[in-house]
Structure 1
Amino acid sequence: MRSRTLTRFTLAGTALAVAAPAGTAGAMSAPQLPGQGTGAGLASIISVAKTPLVRRDVRLARTLAHVKGTKLKRSYSHTIRAWSLAKLTRHHTHLRRALRHARAAKAKAAAPNASPALQAIAACESGGNPSTDTGNGFYGKYQFTLATWQAVGGSGNPAQASEGEQDRRAAMLYASAGPGQWPVCGR
């Protein structure tokens, strides 16, 4: 990966070579391709210098979208190629910060929110697996029946609900009926 300093020196050196007057003794001018104007050489060098920054930005944006559970827009790469080097650098910093926050939020959401008593019940009932479906009429982390799940406000199959929702519904059931709802594991 190219450092910022190296990129800046490369761009500065190229700018000086292109800006040097062609008539001065001993001065070399940048080679020009047929059909290109004076600044065309600089534009191609900037484009080459931006390529690793664009790739890094796309990689970070794709990772951030994955962590958030979304997809990156198809035109994203095309859009950021038009940005300046300074804007790409600032956006890279922004993406790193957003990725750090998204990962922290995801980790916090994944952490169990259940009390120690409910965690013990879940460990006994399903090994703590929120997607448990044993085929015997009991579903999810706390092995709810469909009737019990609906009685505490759940909808659908408990095994397909998020772990956080299962924890909330189990806490509601535990608060209203106590550990007796889990005759073996609630002791």
Structure 2
Amino acid sequence: MRSRTLTGMTLAGGILAAATAAPAGAATLSTPALPVAGDGLAPIVKVAKTPLIRRDLRLARTVARVKGTKLKQSYAKTIRAWSITKLTRHHTHLKRELRAARRAAEQRSTASPALEAIAACESGGNPRTDTGNGFYGKYQFTLDTWQAVGGSGNPARASEAEQDRRAAQLMARAGAGQWPVCGA
């Protein structure tokens, strides 16, 4: 993968080479005119942008997949019109968005419908429930039960996904009887 600096240097080198190319047979040194729009820079810019566009598309598709959505059909056409600078900034934005989407996906509930029904009955489905009665979290664990299934600390401070995993372990070991009112 090329770094931004290398891509910029390649683009600058191509521009410099185009600007300093002397006609065949010229023996004098002259100060070349700086290239302006229309001097044939489009192919150079296109070559420099192609890997950035591919990288952006790949990352945008990954973000969409993690979020459970699809990329708009016009997305590729839209980013092709962007400058190299904007593509680079957008890539940074997409990386942040991907990290956030992955964190959100980890936090989503993975409980079975039976466990979701128990949680709705026990705590209203709120993983942060701590009423001070010795029962904590989405499934109203006691601290001893929480530790018995491998949890540490206060269950109400654990992520919802962790509470779901621990409740599934408890259900597999001892059945729904662990929740005498809601599990019956």
TM-score by length of 1: 0.56
What is the DSSP-based 3-state SS (H/G/I as helix, E as strand, rest coil) of the residue aligned with 1:70?
coil
Q: CA RMSD, aligned part only? A: 3.0
Structure-2 change in CA distance of 1:170 and 1:90 (3 Å):
same
> Which residue of the partner structure matches residue 152 of structure 2?
none
> Which residue of the partner structure matches residue 59 of structure 2?
60
Q: How much identity, in percent, do the aligned residues show?
A: 53
What is the DSSP-based 3-state SS (H/G/I as helix, E as strand, rest coil) of the residue aligned with 1:110?
coil
Indicate yes or no: 2:122 matched with 1:171. yes
> Which residue of the partner structure matches residue 39 of structure 1?
39
> Which residue of the partner structure matches residue 13 of structure 1?
13
> Which residue of the partner structure matches residue 183 of structure 2?
182
1:89-108 equivalences in 2 (<5 Å): 89-108=88-107
| Runs of 4+ deviating beyond 6 Å | none
Q: State the distance in 1 between where 2:38 and 2:183 align.
A: 80
Q: Deviations over 1:99-137 (max 9, x none)?
A: 1011111111236xxxxxxxxxxxxxxxxx61xxxxxxx
Q: State the distance in 1 between where 2:6 and 2:118 align.
A: 53
Counterpart residue type for residue 182 of structure 1: G
Q: State the distance in 2 between where 1:167 and 1:89 align.
A: 48
Q: State the distance in 2 between where 1:166 and 1:66 align.
A: 29
Q: Deviations over 1:17-75 (max 9, x none)?
A: 22337466368x9xxxxxxx9522x2111111111111110111111111111100011
**Is this contact kept in 1: 2:121–2:182, CA < 8 A?**
no
Q: State the distance in 1 between where 2:58 and 2:103 align.
A: 19
**Is this contact kept in 1: 2:118–2:182, CA < 8 A?**
no
Counterpart residue type for residue 18 of structure 1: A
Q: State the distance in 2 between where 1:167 and 1:65 align.
A: 32
> Which residue of the partner structure matches residue 110 of structure 1?
109
TM-score by length of 2: 0.57
What is the total number of aligned residue pairs between the two structures? 124
**Is this contact kept in 1: 2:53–2:80, CA < 8 A?**
yes
Q: Deviations over 1:116-171 (max 9, x none)?
A: xxxxxxxxxxxxx61xxxxxxxxx334xxxxxxxxxxxxxxxxxxxxxx5464242
Unaligned 5+ residue runs, structure 1? 30-36, 112-128, 131-139, 143-164
**Is this contact kept in 2: 1:11–1:46, CA < 8 A?**
yes
